[in-house]
Structure 1
Amino acid sequence: MLNSLGLSYNDVSVKVTSDVYNALPNKPYCSDSKTYAIIRSKYYAQDKPYIQVNNPNLKRYLIVDIDEQDAYSTLLDSRLPQPTYISINRVNGHLQCAWKLRDAVSTSYNSRVAPMRFLAAIDAAYNYRLGGDASFGDCLAKNPLHDRWYNEYYDTEYTLHELADYVDLREKDASNVAANDDVSGLGRNNTVFDVARKQAYKMVRKAVSKPQFQSWQTDILACCESLNKQFSKPMQHNEVKNIARSIARYTFKMWAQFVHSMDNFRAIQAVRGAIGGKLGSNKALSGAKGGAKSKRSGSVKKDDLLSKVLAMKSLHYNHRAIAEDLSISASTVSLWLKAASS
């Protein structure tokens, strides 16, 4: 039997399993059961029934876990797009289904926030539609390469917008789920990542000397664990460790650059008058989002914003990410950074 592209099912199976294997982390978590996890090379890990499908900092597959005996019927009745693969427990009928993203979503420390939030909202809506397990965080998933599961493969991939077309993120039930970070794994991951990275940013600003990496990572892990405990269904410890490690690695490397940016800021303050006050003009701030113009008035506010722009740029944020985080326009960010470099 051929699909719409003229590929036999065997050809599709080879393609999908090859794509999954190539997308695996080099050293994924893997296990023979859900009660523990070890880290091994993906060549070794592919033979384990449970495996970490997505990279810690890159989401290639949207995975939903359905823990009910009639899970397959639930999926068929869901009116959602055809998954890329389905892994079914041969004993109890529970399954995991995954949709391959045409463009993987980066979830690293300096990634754009908007795509992560969009993916988290889609994940929440799909979980709601399918009655997905809220405690599943995809750090350890059913391995679609393993024959413990009955696996079905389909040659499909989707953009985020294509996935979103099958659910209404504005309807009452879906929007409530998408807004509730406690519902899905990506929502919890996104919340801890978002809050903890901002805490780490403040810690960088307050540090008088460069810290030891191990103690730095321990402090950030403690922050992440504290946030995770606030959820009714916390993420697994390994997931929290991955988030903390990502944040710690980037902020630790950028500490010296942050100090340098603060020196630049003091120099800019000295020449503010020479550029006609453009750095802090109300006109430049008029592009702030959500009516932020009135909230940003006053030289103290402007100076504080400028220091944050410089600091975030030193941490390799792009202009759009800086603008989103500080609720100012991207053109304002560009203007200030251009003046800072002149």
Structure 2
Amino acid sequence: MTQPAEACQGPAPTNLALFRQRLPRKPYHTDTLGDGLRIRDIQRALAARYIQPNGPTHRYWLVYDVDRSGAALDWNDRGAPPPTIVAQNPENGHAHLIYGLDVPVRTAPDARSGPLRYAAAVDCALRALLDADAGYAGLICKNPLHPFWRVTEWEPRLYELGDLDSWLDLEQYGDRRKRLPDYGLGRNCNLFDRLRRWAYRAIRQGWPDYDRWHEAVLVRARAYNDFETPLPESEIRASAKSVARYTHRNFNPAAFSAWQAAQGRKGGVRSGEVRRKGSAEEAQPWIALGVSRRTYYRRKKKGAGDVF
């Protein structure tokens, strides 16, 4: 008798096993934070107390550093969602709370800005709710596969961002014109936004060749990496390369002239509409709220309290 496909596949791996499967091929790792980080193959890295949980292009795990005794449990008192995995220091009670995502967030520079900002808002709001260390860089975490830590698995299901959203208040992060907190994914969003806005203007000053332009963008990206906990150099280089390639390919004298003409035509139509219908804010109330037309009507349908 043929077994169902589910039975043939066997039981789903535990989240600790999934943590192992999702590790980068050559993760950063160390036994002592003061000794600096090493990069070696996964088998050697697994023996270290601290390990890199996420690769450079995807965020599979949201990790929070809670430096309080009893950190493994006080998330419940704060009304926070149950962590997927907790790795606690048995000597002082401090812990890393690890939340697993069913669908990872793409953090590469070519990621769509809307989903990345939403993920960053969730990340920042959850950190605030947990009162976790805002200076935690997130590059490495307590390795839950190492026997030194006291490890607990709480939530067996991986989270969707919407699941985490339901536990959080994202109101203060809803205005896309405002800078996100310089924490976690918020740093990625803030760096990229500042860099691209500068690049859109700066490339018009002489229309340089690609090599000179890439170097200028990289210098600017490093200057913008002025966070209290800076992003790694690898992420700075990746963002600079993405912005430099996009602007150099799409911004040139001919394209810029065509864009100016198109904007002029739009301005003429918009002015006519205002004369006929009143102010743009009256005709398009989403402008005053600082949200998109789609978000405005979705919020109106669901209720004023919904942000995303």
- For normalisation by structure 1, the TM-score amounts to 0.64
User: Judging changes above 3 Å, is the alpha-carbon distance between structure 1 residues 37 and 202 closer, same or farther for their aligned structure 2 residues?
Assistant: farther
Q: Counterparts of 1:51-70 in structure 2 under 5 Å?
A: 51-70=51-70
Amino acid at match of 1:156: R
1: CA distance between counterparts of 2:109 and 2:17? 29
Corresponding residue SS for 1:59: strand
Q: Counterparts of 1:39-118 in structure 2 under 5 Å?
A: 39-118=39-118
Aligned to 1:164: 165
Which of 250, 253, 272 is the aligned partner of 1:258? Answer: 250
Structure 1 residues without counterparts, runs of 5 or longer: 1-10, 229-233, 295-326, 331-342
Aligned to 1:193: 192
Indicate if the aligned counterparts of 1:82 and 1:156 stay in contact, CA closer than 8 A.
Answer: no
Corresponding residue SS for 2:55: coil
User: Judging changes above 3 Å, is the alpha-carbon distance between structure 1 residues 293 and 219 closer, same or farther for their aligned structure 2 residues?
Assistant: farther
Aligned to 1:121: 121
2: CA distance between counterparts of 1:107 and 1:143? 22
Indicate if the aligned counterparts of 2:214 and 2:244 stay in contact, CA closer than 8 A.
Answer: no
- Which structure features the higher share of helix residues? 1
Indicate if the aligned counterparts of 1:134 and 1:182 stay in contact, CA closer than 8 A.
Answer: no
2: CA distance between counterparts of 1:285 and 1:39? 61
User: Judging changes above 3 Å, is the alpha-carbon distance between structure 1 residues 141 and 202 closer, same or farther for their aligned structure 2 residues?
Assistant: farther
Matching of residue 23 in structure 1 with residue 22 in structure 2: yes
CA offsets 1:267-322 (integer angstroms, 9 cap, x no match): 7889x8xxxx9766526997xxxx9969xxxxxxxxxxxxxxxxxxxxxxxxxxxx
Q: Counterparts of 1:136-215 in structure 2 under 5 Å?
A: 136-153=136-153, 154-170=155-171, 181-182=180-181, 184-206=183-205, 207-211=207-211, 215=215
Aligned to 2:235: 243
Indicate if the aligned counterparts of 1:217 and 1:245 stay in contact, CA closer than 8 A.
Answer: no
CA deviation after TM superposition for structure 1 residue 205, in Å: 4.2
2: CA distance between counterparts of 1:156 and 1:80? 16
Indicate if the aligned counterparts of 1:58 and 1:107 stay in contact, CA closer than 8 A.
Answer: yes
Indicate if the aligned counterparts of 1:122 and 1:163 stay in contact, CA closer than 8 A.
Answer: yes
User: Judging changes above 3 Å, is the alpha-carbon distance between structure 1 residues 104 and 202 closer, same or farther for their aligned structure 2 residues?
Assistant: farther
Corresponding residue SS for 1:211: helix
1: CA distance between counterparts of 2:156 and 2:21? 15
- For normalisation by structure 2, the TM-score amounts to 0.71
Corresponding residue SS for 2:98: strand
Aligned-residue CA RMSD in angstroms?
3.7
User: Judging changes above 3 Å, is the alpha-carbon distance between structure 1 residues 64 and 201 closer, same or farther for their aligned structure 2 residues?
Assistant: same
The percentage of counterpart residues that share the same residue type is 27
Structure 2 residues without counterparts, runs of 5 or longer: 1-10, 282-290, 295-308
Amino acid at match of 1:166: W
2: CA distance between counterparts of 1:198 and 1:90? 47
CA deviation after TM superposition for structure 1 residue 121, in Å: 2.1
1: CA distance between counterparts of 2:120 and 2:156? 23
1: CA distance between counterparts of 2:51 and 2:23? 9
2: CA distance between counterparts of 1:144 and 1:222? 33
Indicate if the aligned counterparts of 1:185 and 1:235 stay in contact, CA closer than 8 A.
Answer: no
Indicate if the aligned counterparts of 2:200 and 2:247 stay in contact, CA closer than 8 A.
Answer: no
CA deviation after TM superposition for structure 1 residue 37, in Å: 1.8
CA deviation after TM superposition for structure 1 residue 134, in Å: 0.9
User: Judging changes above 3 Å, is the alpha-carbon distance between structure 1 residues 21 and 253 closer, same or farther for their aligned structure 2 residues?
Assistant: farther
Indicate if the aligned counterparts of 2:191 and 2:221 stay in contact, CA closer than 8 A.
Answer: no
Indicate if the aligned counterparts of 1:224 and 1:240 stay in contact, CA closer than 8 A.
Answer: no
Aligned length: 266
CA deviation after TM superposition for structure 1 residue 328, in Å: 8.6
Aligned to 1:282: 269
Indicate if the aligned counterparts of 1:86 and 1:95 stay in contact, CA closer than 8 A.
Answer: yes
1: CA distance between counterparts of 2:223 and 2:246? 19
